[in-house]
Structure formats: structure tokens, C-alpha cells
Amino acid sequence: MYNDSTLAPKRHFPKIRGGRPIPEWFIKHTDNNTHHLGPTPQVLDEWAAAGLQLPDLSRMRRYRVARVREQLRQHQCDGALLYDPLNIRYATDSTNMSLWTMHNAVRYAFIATAGPVIVFEFSDAEFLSAHCDVIDEIRPATTMHPFWVGSRVLEVAKRWADEIAALLDEHGGGGRRLAVDILALEGIRALEACGVDLVSGQPLMEKARLVKHEEEINAMRCAAHACQRNLDDMKAMLSPGVTEVALWARLQESNTLRFGEWIETRLLASGERTNPWFQEASSKVVKAGELIAFDTDLVGAYGMCIDMSRTWLCGGGAPSGAQQQLHDLASETVARNTELFKAGASLREVTEKLWYPPLDEYNGYTVMAHGTGLCDEYPSVYAREKWDSNGFDDIIPAGAVMSVEAFVGKRSGGEGVKLEQQIVVRESGPEPLTDYPLALR
């Protein structure tokens, strides 16, 4: 069985507002926290058999906080206020019902540029964050969401803003310049009434998350291995008569059992539902000889996104000439474009060199590539035809993780093929993170 020091229990109890003693129930629930306990022995054994190294989570967390603060200094901000659960996860490695809090603004984090990391936790759940050694303090969240406070939203927003402004006064060195990622209008107005200078925080966080530490890459390798074993489970049940939604459910189940967290979409389709792309899993029965295509879009082990796509042929026969041609074109698109992602290349340079079938004859994908980390991230790379309307330039750094995309389906109709590979950008070129066979069978 895998035995690694990074799994040893590490009790870290941040300061809790009010200085009250840490009760026994707090210690018990901290020790029982899912993130603290880690993967099951079976998953650890799979990773050990694959020769994978577990990530040093403490080192990874410290790097991420440093990346956030580097961006805050560059933009002359005194702190950041984060509501996006993925930005909170990046800065603190703490979660609380991530999907629910994506549309219910009930927890947030304050990152001082030169000061503490404070998590404002929802509903007396301080113990969920106590395992994390970069969190200095946990406070109860002041929730101004209408679901929670109804007609008192302006009153609560003022109380909330006063607390944030006080933190800036205490830790901002006299400055009140605050980066904010997602914030309700009531919160924006309340902070501005306190004299806080607001800066758009999402671009800062995207840039912070762009370059991955080697410990993040270690975590992503574990997540990728788990994802590919999930595909084995799904492929084992692919036979004529299975429904699309049953295949998707197997992927969801396997992801959960392998320390995964959620799947962002249900992009799985068969037969002519594969073209155009973006139809989600349905009750349709998959027939022999049909293609089944999917995009994992999953948030897996350690919160790492593994975004890869494959297309398989259902049944034991050979693909038709049309199916093979589509697959060959998609495979060539991914292979040729993957080689373009080298450290120091510009997005404009990559765009000019992209290869793909003519878009007047074939349906393509929304982007040719995009960053990947805790989810789909900065930057997006578009086909040349979209440069004038959507394109932007930047330099691709070493340590960026990219997912290289291809969808090929004839505009005249019929099936389509979706393929996608995830890579790390290195000085020497791309390093594959996903190596599951691209073949149709």
C-alpha cells in the first residue's frame, strides 16, 4: 500500500475570531474532513503502481498564495476579496459545497497583499478549512445574498463592507485598493461608499493560476491517471443497447470513487447527435456501429481539472470510411497543434500556425486550445477566422497547462468526432498529461 508522509495528519488550527477556545468537536470534525483524509487506499495503490508521486500540498498552497500576492503587487492592490469558489480553492485550498456556493454567495476569502489570509466561512463550518496551513484566520461569513437576508440586503451589505474596509485599514498600509472577482451590485456600492477603490480581480486570478508549480503538476498527474481509469470503467460498459446517460453516470460514479469532486458538463452523445457538438447525455440508446463521443470536463483528485475527449465506435465491427476519415482529421488536428505549444511562443504565433480542416466544409470547436487548472482557464486560443473578433496576444510560459481541442463533423450532416489532449508546456515542448489511446476502438 502507498505510504507517503504527505498523508500524515497535520493539525493546523487558524485563529478563530473572538479568541474562543478550540472545542473538541472542532478537532474531531477537522480530522474527519474529506480533504484532510485524502484518497482511499485503493486509489493510492493505483497511483503507486503507476509510479506517480503524490503532491506536497503544503508546498503547493504556499506557492499559490505567493502567485496571488505577486499579481496584487503588480496591480498595486492592498488585497483581494474572492467569491468564486475556484479562486477561493486556489488561494486557500478550502471548499464548502463548491457547486452550491457558485450560485449562492455565502462564503468568501480575503487575501492581504502584506498580511493574513482570512476565510469567511458559511454556517459555522470553520472546521472545513482548519486543515489548511496557509489560512491565518477563519471568521463567520456575513451573507448579503437575498436568499439569506431578503429585504435587509442593504443593511447587511453595509455591515459586511465595514468589516472589509476595516481589514484594508488594518493590513493595507493605509491603502484601500481591493481586487474583487465576483460581487453583487449591493456589495460593490457598499464598498465604494466606504471609500474602497475596486479593481477587477478575475484577470489577476487567471494570470496567477496560469503557471503551475511542479507540485500542482504532480497533483494533476494523479488526477489524470484517475480520469483515465474512469474511462476504462466507462468503456467496459459500452455495448449496443446502453444509454448515453448510463455511460455518463458511470463516469460520474468512477470520478467520485477516485477522489474526484464533480463534472462540469454532461457532454456525451452518440450517432448523429455528435454533430454539431454540445449535445449532452440523453436517454438515447447507443446502437452498434455508431460513434459515441464525450468530453470529461471533470474536476478530479486534488480539485484538478482533467479535460480530455475521446470518440469510440460502439460494437465489434470496423469503422466506416466516413467515420475513419473524420477521426483521422481530428487526430491530425490535435497532433499537429499540440507541437506548437512551447514556452515563449506567442498566442498570435500559435494561431497563425494552427492546422485544422476547412471551416466552410466542417464544423469545428469553439476554441483550438485553452488553459486548464482547477477548471478551464486562461488563455483561449481561437481559429484564425476568429482572431479579429475574439483573439488576443500573450506569451505562453513554461508551466502552463493546455488542453488542445479538435471537433470534426461535416456541415452537411452525419456523425462527428471529438478529441482533446491535456499537456504541460515546457521549454523543450509539450509534455503529455493524458495518454489514453486516441483510437476509435
Task: Verify cis geometry, omega within 30 degrees of 0, for the bond prior to 379.
Answer: yes
Backbone φ and ψ of 15, nearest 5°: -60, 135
Q: What's the mean pLDDT in 240-258? A: 98
Q: Using DSSP, state whether 382 is helix, strand or coil.
A: coil
pLDDT digits (tens, 9 = 90+) for 311-355: 999 998 999 999 999 999 999 999 999 999 999 999 999 999 999
pLDDT digits (tens, 9 = 90+) for 366-421: 999 999 999 999 999 999 999 999 999 999 999 999 999 999 999 999 999 999 99
Query: What CATH architecture applies to the domain 5-209?
Result: 3-Layer(aba) Sandwich (3.40)
Q: Using DSSP, state whether 261 is helix, strand or coil.
A: coil
Tell me what the pLDDT averaged over the chain comes to.
93
Q: What's the mean pLDDT in 15-24? A: 59
Banded model confidence at residue 9, pLDDT cuts 50, 70, 90: very low
Other CB atoms within 10 A of residue 283 CB:
8
pLDDT digits (tens, 9 = 90+) for 262-301: 999 999 999 999 999 999 999 999 999 999 999 999 999 9
Give the pLDDT of residue 33: 75
Strands 298-299 and 305-306, sheet pairing: antiparallel
Q: Do domains 5-209 and 211-432 have the same CATH topology?
A: no
Other CB atoms within 10 A of residue 399 CB:
17
Hey, where are the domains in the chain?
5-209, 211-432
The answer regarding whether domain 211-432 maps to CATH 3.90.230.10 reads: yes
Q: What's the mean pLDDT in 125-135? A: 86
Residue whose C-alpha cell reads 438515447 in the numeric block: 284
C-alpha 326/C-alpha 229 separation (Å) is: 26
C-alpha 401/C-alpha 220 separation (Å) is: 10
pLDDT at 229 over 80: yes
Cell numbers for 274, please give them.
455528435
Give the pLDDT of residue 328: 98
